[in-house]
Structure 1
Amino acid sequence: MTSRVTLGESDFLFDGQPRRILSGALHYFRIHPDLWADRIEKARLLGLNTIETYVPWNDHEPVPGAWTTEGMLDLGRFLDLVHAAGLHAIVRPGPYICAEYDNGGLPAWLFTDPEVGIRRFEPRFMTAVESYLRRVYDIVAPRQLDHDGPVVLVQIENEYGAYGRDDDYLRALVDITRDAGITVPLTTVDQPEDDMLQNGSLPDLLKTGSFGSRSPERLATLRRHQPTGPLMCSEYWNGWFDFWGGEHHVTSAEEQARDLDALLASGASVNLYMFHGGTNFGFTNGANDKGVYEPTVTSYDYDAPLDEAGRPTEKFFAFREVFAKYADVPTGVLERALPSPTPDLRPVSHASLLDSLEHLGSWAATGDEPALFDELGHYRGLLALEAELPAGPSTLRVAEVRDRASVFVDGARVGTLERARGDRELALPAGRTLTIVVEDQGRVNYERRIGEPKGLVGPVTIEGCAAAWSALPIDLGRLDEAPDRPWVESEEARDGILRFAFDLDEQADLFLETSALGKGVAFVNGFALGRYWSQGPQHTLYVPGPATRAGANELVLVELDGAPGLPAFAAAADLGPVRRDTLAAQGA
């Protein structure tokens, strides 16, 4: 018999029987794929019956037409593991997801044509969106409940009421979704404010709420806008994210459990945002800019019930007691984590970043303005720029830096320009060649600065004049290539590309201590752990066990600032000084 999920007067109906959805957010793209099953099982042990995930368009289609579902992006395998665990699934494909993720999940290439109307009913945008959604639904449609799969809900857009109002756009998304074979109920989510709930949905879609406190009050607002149908908080913010230069956000497990209890006592369904946050591996973190640019850190721990390394927290056990009042909770025991191994790190060799550039990309002349990342089809990471200098000392002036530029004259570092500080100029000593390494620190994922191009935004002048520029997109995926690169055996190097070795008896989760380093990105055995920065708050990078191996392992750092010390391994995570928030009142 084929199972179905429908919407009743006040409940979700599974084959006509009322059932509450108890869900938790797991983003497959923030978790090593060999750990998906572990995280899903721990969700089941918490008492959850459903797993929710976003889908990041920018990762699945990094350039137009280059669709991928490999490795960490295998959505089908993730959903199959959810199903194998006996749980349901909620899929939220956007196309915009926010999620503190790079560009809110929208591909940067969408914005290279200024005529494309993002997040509205505009033909060029809708053509790209339809192609994307149909690829996602090719994976999701055969895995719906009525096909004996796990998927029970699909979301249309994401918090659209906070962005604008375009009913034609939302209707087109619904039509594409239904035409692609999605038969389960469709939902929208908005913060429980009158204008957002009014603008962000359509009459035939189930409205759900996003909030992290005062649940009965917010559910009442939701009910005013939707007299019938199940009540659901589909983003219950049980923690918060961090940005570089800030503090680590923590909320009270006791307060959150009490409010979660009030939410469930109201008869509502819930999706914990997050159940397990995971990690912004590589260069995938987003940023906020509401007057000040604030890039999100590598860790997406989120002070969730399951921490970044998949270990149960105080919040996990507090929430499980609440869920046990409303549903049968499995009796499996979860042990609290033991300290992680701390193997010795041995410096092996180093190479100058500037001397290695020819191994990491190709130079091309770009004219009298330095090329932007986006103009080169290079949408994340690092970009090298080069120009010849006039005779004598000079001044570099830039209209805007997006987002951080390390400046060298004849190979010697002379300074840094930072977006967050509002830097616009730098005095240069006499020399022949100016080289600038620009870092995209994460694209804004919220509000109107989504999609802005990255690089040195012009006009860019040297002593008041234009220059002849060349550009080289830096491909850090090529770090292990080119054995003839100028490696130098050294135990003293603190700058450039640094190689270390360490040994393990077996695969193990590790925490790389970065407090003695400057700024850069780390790789273990070729797996991109993400960014580190001495200004914190986080001072460790999570190393997933499956990225390690028994025996010899390699750590590679691309150190941009020059490290005062050396890396080490720590027994536990250090996400920085704690900011103890009351119940989350912000928007995610």
Structure 2
Amino acid sequence: MTSFSLGDTDFLRDGQPHQVISGAIHYFRVHPDQWQDRIRKARLMGLNTIETYVAWNAHEPERGAWDTTGWNDLGRFLDLVHEEGLDAIVRPGPYICAEWHNGGLPVWLTGSVDGLRSSAPDFLAEVSAYLRRVYDIVAPRQIERGGPVVLVQIENEYGAYGADQAYLEALVAVTRDAGITVPLTTVDQPVDRMLRDGSLPELHKTASFGSRSTERLATLRRHQPTGPLMCSEFWDGWFDWWGGVHHTTDVHAAAADLDALLAAGASVNIYMFHGGTNFALTNGANDKGRYLPLVTSYDYDAPLDEAGNPTAKFFAFREVIARHAPVPDELPPAAPAAPAFEVDLRAAGAWTEGEGIEPRTALPQTFDALGHRSALIRYDVELPTEHGGLLLIGEVRDLAWASVDGRPVGTLSRTRQDRTLRIPPGRTLSILVEDQGRVNYDHRLGEEKGLIGEITLDGAPLGGWRSTPLDVAELAAGVAARATADGGGDGPSAWTAEFALDAAADLFLDTAAWSKGFAFVNGFFLGRYWRNGPQRTLYVPEPVTRAGANSLVVLELEQVLDPVVRFVGGLALGATEE
């Protein structure tokens, strides 16, 4: 039986000092058939541990519908880590941030209970039930039971959010009662207030940072006087948002900071080793005064890029690790060239029509009120006068396209903080609203989506709204079989294409000729695209493709500039700040 514990200055593995050299891979951001490849490459870089969050809303998107299959098979992921001879760190939250929608909390939860991330009884009851389910998977896979799990984290950067010690104590009690015996940790940024508020005396404090390692370890040591020092989120890159740039960090600077950490004897978890992708509608959003939805790629400028290929950072980090720990001689094989080719797109007609929900309501119904988890709702209202006027909306969450009698009249954007639009004469006003991603940080967790607050036309309330939820995945499935000869034109239009492959392969779908929308290959939801950038390609994982015939469905919200599908040779994630 192998043991893992906290010593006076080090982690102890079977009683001997042990330096954790870990990297983050989120199983829910990587196709399950590619987990083994990514884990193996972590070992080849010199890592001895894999860390993952657990995304509650991936496992239980609807209340009571707990799922641990396929993409959610956390047990299989941990078993693959173990088969590769690596340890594992599990961070179940319940809040994970991670630039993941709603910070990992299910929308049904944040919309139904008060006192998020606190000791409020209703919240604690739901969290306790969730954690027990996770620990049913984790507990038998702890190191003392012959498995890979050596550390479990309590909450996540809680000191940046709250200071409810009773809440943390309750999480510890649930964790221990569920049979978790490995050391329990917390993580906070190396700020005195956060380190003080985000932990308990019996929990081992770790820090999150990406530079100035020596200084920040000193801050951590003031709050954690004994035991191993650990940076459990060493930020080696950053995430991107629509309308921004592709964020990168200097390879040599990142390697130097990693070297400083390891030379100080500290343990480390590299965030991220492999970022993966926010497939489908799983991207989060930031809002620190301005709403910024995050892109589909979670490349993170990590040692393995979005497609799982080693970058310059992989080899620089491997060289650093080799100064402090054994590194395998083997190197990952070079990635084969991705197929590059073009095929035509065929128009498949409009796709945002549908029967609205009756009866009509005084205010548009929100996504949350309708229990709608997809990206779009169309709102329709009869105008009280045919003379038009100034439309004023309390708040748009998050992006809206307005039309009168089918004629586009403008857009309203939360990011631009738009609230007003001049409406021309007409009979029916339609507003198509996109939820662009739920905020994953701070006190905007769980906020409602849709058209929020009172809506007026020239100062008079505008009522009698019909709300039509649109499930983009269901609509894409229906589009595939009905290609037409109709042109796309302006406004929402569906498109299809077929292409042949000699063998299944990773692909990179270039979306530069389109405007904004959603793409699917062989029914698999790749995610969102937007000319707003920086991201220009959508990653298509090899396991969703096949030898022979393959299909593509594009649901465009604005206009296709060129009806062509282009697959290119690699990632195009946009201009950087350099």
Structure-1-length-normalised TM-score: 0.95
Contact 1:396–1:462 (CA under 8 A) maintained in structure 2: yes
- Paired amino acid for 2:402: V
CA deviation after TM superposition for structure 1 residue 340, in Å? 1.3
**Structure 1 residues 491, 86: closer, same or farther in 2, change over 3 A?**
farther
Residue from 384, 392, 399 that aligns with 1:390: 384
Contact 2:56 2:104 (8 Å CA) reproduced: yes
1:584 aligns with none
Residue 586 (structure 1) aligns with? none
- Offset of residue 481 of structure 1: 4.7
Q: What are the within-5 Å matches in structure 2 for residues 114-193 of structure 1? A: 116-193=114-191
Equivalenced residues, count: 574
**CA shift for structure 1 position 421:** 0.9
In 2 relative to 1, CA 3–484 (structure 1 residues): closer, same or farther, beyond 3 Å?
Answer: closer
Q: Does the C-alpha gap of structure 1 residues 161 and 389 become closer, same or farther in structure 2, counting only changes over 3 Å?
A: same
Structure 1 gap segments, 5+ residues each: 581-588
Amino acid aligned to 1:230: P
Structure 1 runs of 4+ off > 6 angstroms? Answer: 483-486
The residue that corresponds to 2:6 in the other structure is 7
Match of 1:327 in 2: 325
Task: Give the SS at the match of 2:24.
Answer: strand
Question: 1:560 Cα deviation (Å)?
Answer: 0.7
Which residue of 2 is the match for residue 19 of structure 1? 18
Structure-to-structure mapping, 1:34-183, within 5 angstroms: 34-113=33-112, 116-183=114-181
Report deviation, 1:338: 4.2
The secondary structure found in structure 2 opposite 1:351 is coil
Shift of 1:484: 11
Secondary structure of the 1:517 match is coil
* Cα shift readout 1:182-221 (whole Å, capped 9, x = no counterpart): 1111000011111111111011111001001111111111
Shift in alpha-carbon separation, 1:483–1:334, aligned structure 2, 3 A: closer
CA distance in structure 1 between the aligned counterparts of 2:123 and 2:108, rounded to whole angstroms = 11
Q: 1:419 to 1:195 in 2, by over 3 A?
A: same
Deviation at residue 413 of structure 1 after TM alignment: 2.3
1:253 equivalent in structure 2: 251
- How much does 1:283 deviate? 0.8
Amino acid of the structure 2 residue aligned with 1:121? S
In 2, are the aligned partners of 1:214 and 1:259 still within 8 Å (CA)?
yes
Q: Which of 370, 395, 398 is the equivalent residue of 1:400? A: 395
**Residues 51, 89 of structure 1: 8 Å contact kept:** yes
Structure 1 counterpart of 2:421? 426
Distance across 2 between alignment mates of 1:99 and 1:217: 25
More displaced, 552-561 or 266-275?
552-561
1:451 partnered with 2:450: no
Is the contact made by 1:4 and 1:14 (CA closer than 8 Å) also made in structure 2? Answer: yes
1:523 to 514, 520, 530: 520
Per-residue CA deviations over 1:398-444 (Å, capped at 9, x if unaligned) read 10000001122233322211111111122223333322221111111
1:273-312 equivalences under 5 Å are: 273-312=271-310
Deviation at 1:554, TM superposition (A): 1.0
Name the CA shift for 1:332/1:490 in 2 (closer, same or farther; >3 Å).
farther
Name the counterpart of 2:368.
374
For residues 98 and 138 of structure 1, what CA distance do their matches in structure 2 show? 23
Residues 1:156 and 1:34: Cα distance change in structure 2 (over 3 Å): same
Residue identity opposite 2:506 in structure 1: D
Contact 2:433 2:450 in 1 (8 A): yes
CA distance in 2, matches of 1:85, 1:194: 38
Q: Which amino acid aligns with 1:575?
A: L
Structure 1 Cα separation of the partners of residues 406 and 550 of structure 2: 31
Q: Which amino acid aligns with 1:476?
A: V
Per-residue displacement from partner, 1:300-359 (whole Å, max 9, x unpaired)? 10000000000000000000001111111111122443431123223234120233x35x
Q: Does 1:539 align with 2:539?
A: no
Seq. identity, %? 60
Structure 2: segments with no counterpart, 5+ residues:
none
Contact 1:364–1:472 (8 Å) recurs in 2: no
Deviation at 1:510, TM superposition (A): 0.8
User: Helix, strand or coil for the counterpart of 1:345?
Assistant: strand
Alignment of 1:218-229 (within 5 A): 218-229=216-227
**Map of 2:338 onto structure 1:** 340
Distance in 1, matches of 2:386 and 2:483, equals 33
Change (3 A) 1:507 1:11: same
SS at match of 1:365: strand
Contact map agreement 2:55 2:92 (CA 8 A) in 1? yes
The CA RMSD measured in Å over matched residues stands at: 1.7
1:585 maps to none
The 5 A counterparts of 1:412-491 are 412-463=407-458, 464-479=460-475, 481-482=477-478, 487-490=483-486
Looking at structure 1, the residues matched to 60 and 110 of structure 2 have their Cα atoms a distance apart, in angstroms, of 14
TM-score between the two structures when normalised by the length of structure 2: 0.96
Deviation at 1:493, TM superposition (A): 5.6
